[in-house]
């Protein structure tokens, strides 16, 4: 998968990431921080995503792990 395709998937999931982040934290600034850190780590570890698998599940796992850590 090209970087551009991967970034397109990320962009299309940003609003959903914020919705899920709201379930972990209530403060608007913390929601944005959690979302941004998730996007950063997804880009950093994009090679771990296996093309053809559930991207939403993968990115939400990244978000959950960012929250836990």
State the pTM of this model. Answer: 0.89
DSSP conformation class of 50: P
Q: What is the mean pLDDT of the chain?
A: 94
Q: Give residue for tokens 């296996």.
A: 50
Following CA atoms 60, 47, 15, 37 in sequence, which dihedral angle do they give, to the nearest 10 degrees? 80
2-54: per-residue pLDDT in tens?
889 999 999 999 999 999 999 999 999 999 999 999 999 999 999 999 998 99
Residue 1 has pLDDT above 90, yes or no: no
């Amino acid at each position: 998968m090209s970087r551009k395709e991967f970034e397109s998937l990320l962009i299309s999931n940003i609003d959903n990431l914020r919705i899920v982040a709201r379930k972990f934290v209530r403060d608007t600034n913390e929601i944005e921080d959690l979302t941004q850190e998730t996007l950063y780590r997804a880009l950093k570890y994009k090679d771990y995503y296996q093309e053809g698998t559930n991207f939403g599940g993968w990115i939400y796992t990244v978000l959950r792990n960012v929250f836990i850590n």
